[in-house]
Amino acid sequence: MSGNEKAWGGRFAGATAELMERFNASIGFDRKLLEVDLAGSLVHAQALERAGVLTDEEVAQIHAGLEQVRAELSAPGHAFSAGLEDIHMAVERRLTELIGPLGGKLHTGRSRNDQVNLDERLYLREAIAGIRLRLRHLQEVLADSAEAHLEVILPGYTHLQQAQPILFGHYALALFWMLERDQGRLEDAWKRADFLPLGAGALAGSAYPLDRQFMARELGFSGVTPNSLDTVSDRDFLLEALAALAILMMHLSRFCEDLIIWSTREFGFVELADAFSTGSSMMPQKKNPDSLELVRGKTGRVYGDLFSLLTTMKGIPLTYAKDMQEDKEPLFDAFGSVQDCLEVFAGAWQTMQLRPARMEAAVDDAALATDLADYLARRGMPFREAHHLVGRLVRFALEAGRGLRGLTLEELQSHSPAFGQDALSLLDLRHSLDLRNIEGGTGPEAVRTQLARARAVLET
Ligand code: ARG
Protein backbone atom coordinates (compact mmCIF):
# COMPACT_ATOMS: atom_id res chain seq x y z
CA MET A 1 0.00 0.00 0.00
CA SER A 2 1.64 3.27 -1.08
CA GLY A 3 1.55 6.45 0.99
CA ASN A 4 -1.59 7.93 -0.54
CA GLU A 5 -3.51 4.79 -1.28
CA LYS A 6 -6.82 4.38 0.53
CA ALA A 7 -7.31 1.51 2.93
CA TRP A 8 -10.42 0.69 0.88
CA GLY A 9 -8.74 1.47 -2.46
CA GLY A 10 -8.79 -2.02 -4.01
CA ARG A 11 -12.26 -1.61 -5.47
CA PHE A 12 -11.36 1.70 -7.09
CA ALA A 13 -9.64 2.35 -10.39
CA GLY A 14 -9.68 6.15 -10.11
CA ALA A 15 -8.49 8.54 -7.43
CA THR A 16 -10.73 10.53 -5.10
CA ALA A 17 -11.23 14.13 -6.15
CA GLU A 18 -9.30 16.45 -3.91
CA LEU A 19 -12.55 18.29 -3.18
CA MET A 20 -14.23 15.04 -2.19
CA GLU A 21 -11.30 14.09 -0.01
CA ARG A 22 -11.67 17.26 2.01
CA PHE A 23 -15.44 16.96 2.09
CA ASN A 24 -15.28 13.37 3.27
CA ALA A 25 -12.66 13.84 5.95
CA SER A 26 -13.58 13.92 9.64
CA ILE A 27 -9.99 13.86 10.85
CA GLY A 28 -10.12 17.62 11.45
CA PHE A 29 -12.46 17.06 14.38
CA ASP A 30 -12.50 13.36 15.23
CA ARG A 31 -8.82 13.52 16.16
CA LYS A 32 -10.29 14.29 19.57
CA LEU A 33 -11.09 10.58 19.73
CA LEU A 34 -7.44 9.48 19.51
CA GLU A 35 -7.15 8.25 23.09
CA VAL A 36 -10.38 6.31 23.15
CA ASP A 37 -9.72 4.89 19.70
CA LEU A 38 -6.41 3.51 20.93
CA ALA A 39 -8.01 2.08 24.04
CA GLY A 40 -10.50 0.21 21.86
CA SER A 41 -7.79 -1.04 19.51
CA LEU A 42 -5.66 -2.39 22.34
CA VAL A 43 -8.57 -4.47 23.61
CA HIS A 44 -9.64 -5.53 20.12
CA ALA A 45 -6.13 -6.90 19.53
CA GLN A 46 -6.41 -8.94 22.72
CA ALA A 47 -9.77 -10.28 21.60
CA LEU A 48 -8.21 -11.27 18.27
CA GLU A 49 -5.61 -13.24 20.19
CA ARG A 50 -8.28 -15.03 22.20
CA ALA A 51 -10.04 -15.78 18.90
CA GLY A 52 -6.85 -17.37 17.56
CA VAL A 53 -6.31 -14.71 14.89
CA LEU A 54 -3.18 -13.14 16.40
CA THR A 55 -0.35 -14.69 18.41
CA ASP A 56 0.66 -13.19 21.72
CA GLU A 57 3.89 -12.03 20.08
CA GLU A 58 1.85 -10.17 17.43
CA VAL A 59 -0.37 -8.58 20.04
CA ALA A 60 2.70 -7.38 21.90
CA GLN A 61 4.04 -5.82 18.70
CA ILE A 62 0.71 -4.16 17.97
CA HIS A 63 0.52 -2.80 21.51
CA ALA A 64 4.03 -1.37 21.31
CA GLY A 65 3.20 0.10 17.89
CA LEU A 66 0.01 1.69 19.18
CA GLU A 67 1.94 3.28 22.06
CA GLN A 68 4.29 4.80 19.53
CA VAL A 69 1.29 6.00 17.48
CA ARG A 70 -0.13 7.60 20.62
CA ALA A 71 3.09 9.48 21.29
CA GLU A 72 3.33 10.76 17.73
CA LEU A 73 -0.27 11.63 16.94
CA SER A 74 -0.97 13.29 20.28
CA ALA A 75 1.98 15.67 19.89
CA PRO A 76 0.48 19.20 19.96
CA GLY A 77 1.60 20.29 16.52
CA HIS A 78 0.89 17.01 14.75
CA ALA A 79 -0.68 17.66 11.34
CA PHE A 80 -3.05 15.07 9.84
CA SER A 81 -3.61 15.02 6.11
CA ALA A 82 -7.22 15.00 4.89
CA GLY A 83 -6.40 11.92 2.83
CA LEU A 84 -6.31 9.95 6.07
CA GLU A 85 -10.08 10.43 6.31
CA ASP A 86 -10.63 9.84 9.98
CA ILE A 87 -8.88 9.02 13.22
CA HIS A 88 -9.42 5.27 12.78
CA MET A 89 -7.61 5.30 9.42
CA ALA A 90 -4.91 7.63 10.72
CA VAL A 91 -4.08 5.27 13.58
CA GLU A 92 -4.07 2.20 11.34
CA ARG A 93 -1.98 3.90 8.67
CA ARG A 94 0.69 5.03 11.11
CA LEU A 95 0.68 1.67 12.88
CA THR A 96 1.28 -0.09 9.57
CA GLU A 97 4.09 2.28 8.70
CA LEU A 98 5.67 1.52 12.06
CA ILE A 99 5.23 -2.26 12.37
CA GLY A 100 4.66 -3.31 8.76
CA PRO A 101 1.95 -5.60 7.37
CA LEU A 102 1.02 -6.83 10.86
CA GLY A 103 -0.59 -3.42 11.37
CA GLY A 104 -3.06 -4.39 8.67
CA LYS A 105 -4.23 -7.37 10.74
CA LEU A 106 -5.62 -5.17 13.50
CA HIS A 107 -8.81 -4.39 11.60
CA THR A 108 -9.72 -8.08 11.28
CA GLY A 109 -13.28 -8.69 12.42
CA ARG A 110 -13.96 -5.01 13.04
CA SER A 111 -15.54 -2.18 11.07
CA ARG A 112 -15.26 1.53 11.52
CA ASN A 113 -19.00 1.38 12.12
CA ASP A 114 -18.65 -0.45 15.42
CA GLN A 115 -15.35 1.28 16.12
CA VAL A 116 -16.73 4.82 15.90
CA ASN A 117 -19.68 3.82 18.04
CA LEU A 118 -17.29 2.50 20.67
CA ASP A 119 -15.14 5.61 20.54
CA GLU A 120 -18.15 7.82 21.05
CA ARG A 121 -19.33 5.83 24.02
CA LEU A 122 -15.91 6.01 25.61
CA TYR A 123 -15.70 9.72 24.89
CA LEU A 124 -19.17 10.23 26.32
CA ARG A 125 -18.30 8.45 29.54
CA GLU A 126 -15.47 10.88 30.23
CA ALA A 127 -17.33 13.92 29.00
CA ILE A 128 -20.29 13.16 31.28
CA ALA A 129 -17.95 12.65 34.23
CA GLY A 130 -16.36 16.04 33.51
CA ILE A 131 -19.71 17.80 33.40
CA ARG A 132 -20.92 16.10 36.56
CA LEU A 133 -17.84 17.25 38.42
CA ARG A 134 -18.45 20.85 37.36
CA LEU A 135 -22.12 20.54 38.26
CA ARG A 136 -21.06 19.41 41.74
CA HIS A 137 -18.81 22.40 42.09
CA LEU A 138 -21.59 24.78 41.12
CA GLN A 139 -23.94 23.03 43.56
CA GLU A 140 -21.38 23.62 46.30
CA VAL A 141 -21.14 27.30 45.37
CA LEU A 142 -24.94 27.54 45.57
CA ALA A 143 -25.16 25.79 48.93
CA ASP A 144 -22.46 28.05 50.37
CA SER A 145 -24.20 31.10 48.98
CA ALA A 146 -27.56 29.96 50.35
CA GLU A 147 -26.00 29.49 53.76
CA ALA A 148 -24.17 32.83 53.78
CA HIS A 149 -27.29 34.80 52.75
CA LEU A 150 -29.96 32.47 54.02
CA GLU A 151 -32.18 35.11 55.62
CA VAL A 152 -31.83 37.87 53.05
CA ILE A 153 -35.37 38.80 52.00
CA LEU A 154 -36.30 39.66 48.45
CA PRO A 155 -39.45 39.75 46.34
CA GLY A 156 -40.41 36.50 44.68
CA TYR A 157 -41.94 36.87 41.23
CA THR A 158 -44.45 35.25 38.96
CA HIS A 159 -45.02 36.85 35.55
CA LEU A 160 -42.10 39.06 36.60
CA GLN A 161 -44.60 40.80 38.87
CA GLN A 162 -44.02 40.75 42.61
CA ALA A 163 -45.79 37.81 44.16
CA GLN A 164 -44.64 36.97 47.68
CA PRO A 165 -41.50 37.61 49.73
CA ILE A 166 -38.92 34.84 49.68
CA LEU A 167 -35.51 34.17 51.22
CA PHE A 168 -32.37 34.33 49.11
CA GLY A 169 -31.30 30.95 50.48
CA HIS A 170 -34.47 29.49 49.04
CA TYR A 171 -33.77 31.09 45.69
CA ALA A 172 -30.19 29.81 45.47
CA LEU A 173 -31.26 26.31 46.44
CA ALA A 174 -33.91 26.28 43.70
CA LEU A 175 -31.06 26.08 41.20
CA PHE A 176 -29.30 23.50 43.34
CA TRP A 177 -32.22 21.08 42.89
CA MET A 178 -32.55 21.77 39.18
CA LEU A 179 -28.89 20.87 38.81
CA GLU A 180 -29.44 17.76 40.88
CA ARG A 181 -32.01 16.60 38.33
CA ASP A 182 -29.48 17.39 35.60
CA GLN A 183 -27.04 15.13 37.41
CA GLY A 184 -29.66 12.42 37.41
CA ARG A 185 -30.41 12.83 33.71
CA LEU A 186 -26.72 12.57 32.80
CA GLU A 187 -26.25 9.54 35.03
CA ASP A 188 -29.29 7.96 33.46
CA ALA A 189 -28.12 8.71 29.91
CA TRP A 190 -24.91 6.88 30.69
CA LYS A 191 -26.78 3.83 31.97
CA ARG A 192 -28.24 3.25 28.52
CA ALA A 193 -24.90 3.90 26.80
CA ASP A 194 -23.04 1.50 29.06
CA PHE A 195 -22.90 -1.43 26.58
CA LEU A 196 -20.05 -2.56 24.38
CA PRO A 197 -20.74 -2.14 20.64
CA LEU A 198 -17.60 -3.94 19.36
CA GLY A 199 -18.40 -7.22 17.68
CA ALA A 200 -21.27 -5.70 15.71
CA GLY A 201 -18.86 -5.38 12.79
CA ALA A 202 -20.13 -3.37 9.84
CA LEU A 203 -23.75 -4.29 10.65
CA ALA A 204 -24.24 -8.07 10.72
CA GLY A 205 -21.89 -9.07 13.53
CA SER A 206 -18.24 -10.01 13.29
CA ALA A 207 -17.43 -13.33 11.61
CA TYR A 208 -14.70 -13.97 14.19
CA PRO A 209 -15.41 -15.44 17.60
CA LEU A 210 -14.53 -12.26 19.47
CA ASP A 211 -15.24 -12.54 23.17
CA ARG A 212 -17.52 -9.56 23.59
CA GLN A 213 -17.96 -10.10 27.32
CA PHE A 214 -14.20 -10.00 27.73
CA MET A 215 -13.93 -6.75 25.75
CA ALA A 216 -16.79 -5.25 27.75
CA ARG A 217 -15.06 -6.05 31.01
CA GLU A 218 -11.71 -4.72 29.80
CA LEU A 219 -13.25 -1.45 28.65
CA GLY A 220 -15.41 -1.05 31.74
CA PHE A 221 -18.86 -1.59 30.20
CA SER A 222 -21.53 -3.32 32.21
CA GLY A 223 -22.76 -5.40 29.26
CA VAL A 224 -22.78 -5.87 25.49
CA THR A 225 -25.31 -4.55 22.97
CA PRO A 226 -27.89 -7.16 21.96
CA ASN A 227 -28.37 -6.46 18.23
CA SER A 228 -25.67 -5.61 15.70
CA LEU A 229 -28.02 -3.68 13.38
CA ASP A 230 -29.28 -1.53 16.22
CA THR A 231 -25.74 -1.09 17.48
CA VAL A 232 -24.21 0.50 14.40
CA SER A 233 -27.36 2.57 13.77
CA ASP A 234 -27.59 3.86 17.30
CA ARG A 235 -26.80 7.39 18.38
CA ASP A 236 -29.48 7.52 21.07
CA PHE A 237 -26.80 7.69 23.71
CA LEU A 238 -25.50 10.93 22.23
CA LEU A 239 -28.98 12.35 21.80
CA GLU A 240 -29.92 11.61 25.38
CA ALA A 241 -26.79 13.30 26.65
CA LEU A 242 -27.40 16.30 24.39
CA ALA A 243 -30.98 16.54 25.61
CA ALA A 244 -29.76 16.49 29.20
CA LEU A 245 -27.27 19.24 28.37
CA ALA A 246 -29.94 21.30 26.64
CA ILE A 247 -32.12 21.15 29.75
CA LEU A 248 -29.17 22.00 31.95
CA MET A 249 -28.45 25.07 29.82
CA MET A 250 -32.09 26.12 30.01
CA HIS A 251 -31.73 26.12 33.81
CA LEU A 252 -28.59 28.24 33.75
CA SER A 253 -30.11 30.56 31.18
CA ARG A 254 -33.13 31.35 33.34
CA PHE A 255 -30.95 32.24 36.29
CA CYS A 256 -28.75 34.35 34.01
CA GLU A 257 -31.85 36.22 32.97
CA ASP A 258 -32.80 36.92 36.60
CA LEU A 259 -29.32 38.06 37.52
CA ILE A 260 -29.04 40.26 34.44
CA ILE A 261 -32.28 42.00 35.43
CA TRP A 262 -31.20 42.15 39.06
CA SER A 263 -27.92 43.80 38.13
CA THR A 264 -29.63 46.74 36.42
CA ARG A 265 -29.60 50.09 38.13
CA GLU A 266 -33.38 49.87 38.40
CA PHE A 267 -33.21 46.69 40.48
CA GLY A 268 -29.74 46.89 41.99
CA PHE A 269 -30.17 43.57 43.84
CA VAL A 270 -26.73 42.31 42.84
CA GLU A 271 -23.53 43.60 41.39
CA LEU A 272 -21.36 41.33 39.31
CA ALA A 273 -17.64 41.33 40.03
CA ASP A 274 -15.42 43.16 37.58
CA ALA A 275 -13.82 39.81 36.88
CA PHE A 276 -17.02 38.59 35.23
CA SER A 277 -18.13 41.81 33.53
CA THR A 278 -16.91 43.74 30.55
CA GLY A 279 -17.10 47.35 29.42
CA SER A 280 -18.25 49.28 26.39
CA SER A 281 -15.91 50.54 23.71
CA MET A 282 -17.83 53.81 23.56
CA MET A 283 -19.68 54.48 26.83
CA PRO A 284 -17.17 54.87 29.65
CA GLN A 285 -19.69 54.29 32.43
CA LYS A 286 -20.79 50.84 31.28
CA LYS A 287 -20.28 47.60 33.13
CA ASN A 288 -22.08 44.83 31.33
CA PRO A 289 -23.01 41.34 32.53
CA ASP A 290 -21.51 39.68 29.45
CA SER A 291 -20.61 36.50 31.30
CA LEU A 292 -24.27 35.80 32.01
CA GLU A 293 -25.42 36.99 28.60
CA LEU A 294 -23.02 34.61 26.93
CA VAL A 295 -24.21 31.68 29.00
CA ARG A 296 -27.77 32.60 28.02
CA GLY A 297 -26.64 32.96 24.41
CA LYS A 298 -24.82 29.65 24.31
CA THR A 299 -28.01 27.94 25.43
CA GLY A 300 -29.31 28.45 21.90
CA ARG A 301 -26.17 26.93 20.54
CA VAL A 302 -26.49 23.80 22.69
CA TYR A 303 -30.15 23.44 21.66
CA GLY A 304 -28.84 23.72 18.10
CA ASP A 305 -26.43 20.87 18.72
CA LEU A 306 -29.28 18.65 19.91
CA PHE A 307 -31.47 19.60 16.96
CA SER A 308 -28.66 19.18 14.51
CA LEU A 309 -28.14 15.57 15.54
CA LEU A 310 -31.85 14.78 15.85
CA THR A 311 -32.31 16.08 12.32
CA THR A 312 -29.30 14.19 10.99
CA MET A 313 -30.64 10.94 12.40
CA LYS A 314 -34.26 11.14 11.39
CA GLY A 315 -34.15 9.89 7.82
CA ILE A 316 -31.26 7.43 7.81
CA PRO A 317 -32.25 3.98 6.60
CA LEU A 318 -30.84 1.20 8.76
CA THR A 319 -28.02 0.82 9.40
CA TYR A 320 -25.03 3.15 9.09
CA ALA A 321 -24.76 5.97 6.57
CA LYS A 322 -22.14 8.66 6.30
CA ASP A 323 -24.63 11.24 7.50
CA MET A 324 -23.76 9.93 10.93
CA GLN A 325 -20.28 11.38 10.71
CA GLU A 326 -22.08 14.68 11.31
CA ASP A 327 -22.68 13.59 14.91
CA LYS A 328 -19.29 14.58 16.23
CA GLU A 329 -19.13 18.34 15.89
CA PRO A 330 -22.40 18.98 17.73
CA LEU A 331 -21.32 16.50 20.38
CA PHE A 332 -17.96 18.12 20.99
CA ASP A 333 -19.44 21.58 20.73
CA ALA A 334 -22.16 20.90 23.29
CA PHE A 335 -19.85 19.36 25.87
CA GLY A 336 -17.24 22.07 25.37
CA SER A 337 -19.81 24.85 25.66
CA VAL A 338 -21.53 23.43 28.73
CA GLN A 339 -18.23 22.88 30.45
CA ASP A 340 -17.27 26.53 29.92
CA CYS A 341 -20.71 27.80 30.89
CA LEU A 342 -20.72 25.87 34.17
CA GLU A 343 -17.34 27.28 35.10
CA VAL A 344 -18.20 30.85 34.13
CA PHE A 345 -21.59 30.77 35.81
CA ALA A 346 -20.09 29.38 39.04
CA GLY A 347 -17.42 32.08 38.97
CA ALA A 348 -19.93 34.85 38.35
CA TRP A 349 -22.21 33.65 41.14
CA GLN A 350 -19.42 33.13 43.62
CA THR A 351 -18.02 36.62 43.13
CA MET A 352 -21.17 38.72 42.80
CA GLN A 353 -22.11 41.14 45.58
CA LEU A 354 -25.59 40.94 47.02
CA ARG A 355 -27.41 44.13 48.03
CA PRO A 356 -29.69 42.82 50.81
CA ALA A 357 -31.02 46.26 51.77
CA ARG A 358 -32.11 46.95 48.18
CA MET A 359 -33.73 43.56 47.93
CA GLU A 360 -35.74 43.92 51.12
CA ALA A 361 -36.70 47.52 50.39
CA ALA A 362 -38.01 46.46 47.01
CA VAL A 363 -40.64 44.16 48.48
CA ASP A 364 -43.99 45.81 47.86
CA ASP A 365 -46.46 45.69 50.76
CA ALA A 366 -48.95 44.21 48.38
CA ALA A 367 -46.82 41.06 48.39
CA LEU A 368 -48.41 40.44 51.81
CA ALA A 369 -51.94 40.39 50.41
CA THR A 370 -52.10 36.60 50.35
CA ASP A 371 -51.34 36.55 54.08
CA LEU A 372 -54.30 38.83 54.77
CA ALA A 373 -56.58 36.65 52.68
CA ASP A 374 -55.28 33.56 54.49
CA TYR A 375 -55.96 35.29 57.79
CA LEU A 376 -59.62 35.77 56.88
CA ALA A 377 -59.83 32.23 55.51
CA ARG A 378 -58.49 30.84 58.80
CA ARG A 379 -61.32 32.70 60.49
CA GLY A 380 -63.85 30.82 58.42
CA MET A 381 -64.36 33.05 55.41
CA PRO A 382 -64.34 31.09 52.12
CA PHE A 383 -60.94 31.78 50.50
CA ARG A 384 -62.49 33.08 47.26
CA GLU A 385 -64.43 35.70 49.23
CA ALA A 386 -61.35 36.62 51.27
CA HIS A 387 -59.33 36.95 48.04
CA HIS A 388 -61.88 39.37 46.64
CA LEU A 389 -62.11 41.41 49.80
CA VAL A 390 -58.34 41.80 50.12
CA GLY A 391 -58.16 42.72 46.44
CA ARG A 392 -60.49 45.63 47.20
CA LEU A 393 -58.33 46.52 50.18
CA VAL A 394 -55.22 46.63 47.98
CA ARG A 395 -57.01 48.92 45.54
CA PHE A 396 -58.19 51.12 48.42
CA ALA A 397 -54.62 51.42 49.74
CA LEU A 398 -53.29 52.19 46.26
CA GLU A 399 -55.89 54.87 45.71
CA ALA A 400 -55.09 56.37 49.09
CA GLY A 401 -51.47 56.49 48.02
CA ARG A 402 -50.36 54.14 50.78
CA GLY A 403 -49.14 50.58 51.00
CA LEU A 404 -50.96 47.83 52.84
CA ARG A 405 -48.71 48.50 55.80
CA GLY A 406 -49.98 52.09 55.91
CA LEU A 407 -53.55 51.01 56.67
CA THR A 408 -55.06 51.41 60.12
CA LEU A 409 -56.97 48.73 61.96
CA GLU A 410 -60.17 50.77 61.50
CA GLU A 411 -59.64 50.80 57.76
CA LEU A 412 -59.14 47.05 57.72
CA GLN A 413 -62.23 46.54 59.84
CA SER A 414 -64.30 48.83 57.64
CA HIS A 415 -63.64 46.27 54.87
CA SER A 416 -64.40 43.29 57.09
CA PRO A 417 -65.29 42.97 60.75
CA ALA A 418 -63.42 39.66 60.69
CA PHE A 419 -60.13 41.57 61.02
CA GLY A 420 -59.11 41.41 64.70
CA GLN A 421 -56.44 43.23 66.73
CA ASP A 422 -53.80 40.80 65.52
CA ALA A 423 -54.41 41.57 61.82
CA LEU A 424 -51.89 44.42 61.65
CA SER A 425 -49.07 42.26 62.95
CA LEU A 426 -49.56 40.15 59.83
CA LEU A 427 -48.24 42.95 57.72
CA ASP A 428 -44.63 42.08 58.37
CA LEU A 429 -42.20 40.39 56.00
CA ARG A 430 -40.58 38.15 58.58
CA HIS A 431 -43.92 37.06 59.86
CA SER A 432 -44.99 36.25 56.33
CA LEU A 433 -41.93 34.08 55.87
CA ASP A 434 -42.42 32.38 59.23
CA LEU A 435 -45.83 31.26 58.02
CA ARG A 436 -44.11 29.22 55.32
CA ASN A 437 -42.10 26.70 57.24
CA ILE A 438 -43.85 23.89 55.44
CA GLU A 439 -41.35 21.38 54.02
CA GLY A 440 -40.08 22.87 50.76
CA GLY A 441 -41.37 26.35 51.64
CA THR A 442 -39.46 29.61 52.00
CA GLY A 443 -39.77 29.88 55.82
CA PRO A 444 -36.36 30.19 57.52
CA GLU A 445 -36.68 26.88 59.36
CA ALA A 446 -37.74 25.10 56.19
CA VAL A 447 -34.84 26.59 54.25
CA ARG A 448 -32.40 25.49 56.94
CA THR A 449 -33.79 21.96 56.68
CA GLN A 450 -33.54 22.17 52.92
CA LEU A 451 -29.95 23.31 53.14
CA ALA A 452 -29.12 20.31 55.32
CA ARG A 453 -30.72 18.09 52.71
CA ALA A 454 -28.62 19.71 49.99
CA ARG A 455 -25.47 19.25 52.07
CA ALA A 456 -26.34 15.59 52.47
CA VAL A 457 -26.57 15.27 48.68
CA LEU A 458 -23.13 16.86 48.35
CA GLU A 459 -21.66 14.40 50.81
CA THR A 460 -22.79 11.34 48.84
N1 ARG B 1 -15.56 8.72 10.03
C2 ARG B 1 -16.72 7.88 10.11
C3 ARG B 1 -17.72 8.49 11.06
O4 ARG B 1 -17.33 9.34 11.80
C5 ARG B 1 -16.34 6.54 10.61
C6 ARG B 1 -17.19 5.44 10.12
C7 ARG B 1 -17.06 5.28 8.67
N8 ARG B 1 -17.67 4.08 8.22
C9 ARG B 1 -17.82 3.83 6.93
N10 ARG B 1 -18.34 2.73 6.60
N11 ARG B 1 -17.48 4.70 6.03
O12 ARG B 1 -18.89 8.15 11.07
CATH at 372: 1.10.40.30
Q: CA 314, CA 324: separation in Å to the nearest integer? A: 11
102 and 29 both lie in a single domain = yes
Is residue 455 in a domain? no
Whether ligand 1 lies within 6 angstroms of the CB of 112 is answered as yes
Instruction: Give the three-class secondary structure for 197.
Output: coil
Please, which residues have CB within 8 angstroms of residue 319's CB and are 6 or more apart in sequence? 113, 203, 229, 232, 233
Instruction: Give the three-class secondary structure for 183.
Output: helix
| Range of the structural domain that residue 417 is part of | 365-427
| Of the residues 361, 389, 410, the one at which a domain ends | 361
| Of the residues 339, 361, 383, the one at which a domain ends | 361
Whether ligand 1 lies within 6 angstroms of the CB of 115 is answered as no
Whether ligand 1 lies within 6 angstroms of the CB of 116 is answered as yes
18 and 78 both lie in a single domain = yes
Task: Please return the burial class of 104, using the count of CB atoms within 10 Å of its CB with bins 0-12, 13-18 and 19+.
Answer: middle
Q: Best of 20, 116, 203, 328 to mutate for ligand 1, by most ligand atoms within 8 A of CB?
A: 116
381 and 353 both lie in a single domain = no
181 and 296 both lie in a single domain = yes
Is residue 456 in a domain? no
159 an active-site residue? Answer: yes
136 and 184 both lie in a single domain = yes
The mean pLDDT values, 10 residues at a time, for the chain of 460 residues are: 70 90 94 98 98 98 98 94 92 97 97 98 98 98 98 97 96 98 98 98 97 98 98 98 98 98 97 92 87 98 98 97 98 98 98 98 90 93 95 93 90 93 89 95 98 97
74 an active-site residue? Answer: no
155 and 242 both lie in a single domain = yes
Alpha helix stretches (DSSP H) within 194-326:
212-219, 228-233, 236-262, 290-313
313 and 253 both lie in a single domain = yes
| Of the residues 361, 384, 400, the one at which a domain ends | 361
Is residue 459 in a domain? no
Is residue 164 in a domain? yes
Is residue 332 in a domain? yes
Whether ligand 1 lies within 6 angstroms of the CB of 26 is answered as yes
CATH code, domain carrying 67: 1.10.275.10
Torsion sign (Cα): 98, 103, 106, 110: positive
Dist. CA 223 → ligand 1 center (Å): 24
Instruction: Count the domains in the chain.
Output: 3
* 85 closest CA partner among 37, 16, 35: 16
pLDDT of res. 2: 43
Is residue 155 in a domain? yes
Which residues are 270's β-sheet partners? 354
Q: Which helix (H) or strand (E) holds 60?
A: helix 56-73
What is the C-alpha R_g of the chain? 31
91 and 54 both lie in a single domain = yes
Q: Which ligand 1 atom sits nearest the alpha carbon of residue 320?
A: 10
pLDDT of res. 368: 87
Dist. CA 49 → ligand 1 center (Å): 25
203 and 59 both lie in a single domain = no
Whether ligand 1 lies within 6 angstroms of the CB of 397 is answered as no
Dist. CA 202 → ligand 1 center (Å): 10
Tell the residue nearest (CA) to atom 2 of ligand 1: 325
Q: Which ligand 1 atom sits nearest the alpha carbon of residue 86?
A: 1
Give me the catalytic one of 280, 388, 414, 431. 280
Is residue 447 in a domain? no
Q: CA 277, CA 348: separation in Å to the nearest integer? A: 9
Region of residue 321 (left: phi > 0; alpha: psi -120 to 50; beta: else): beta
Dist. CA 116 → ligand 1 center (Å): 7
* 215 closest CA partner among 129, 134, 118: 118
* 344 closest CA partner among 273, 402, 397, 436: 273
CATH code, domain carrying 175: 1.20.200.10
393 and 331 both lie in a single domain = no
pTM of the entire predicted model: 0.94
Dist. CA 320 → ligand 1 center (Å): 8
Dist. CA 298 → ligand 1 center (Å): 29
Is residue 458 in a domain? no
76 and 48 both lie in a single domain = yes
141 and 163 both lie in a single domain = yes
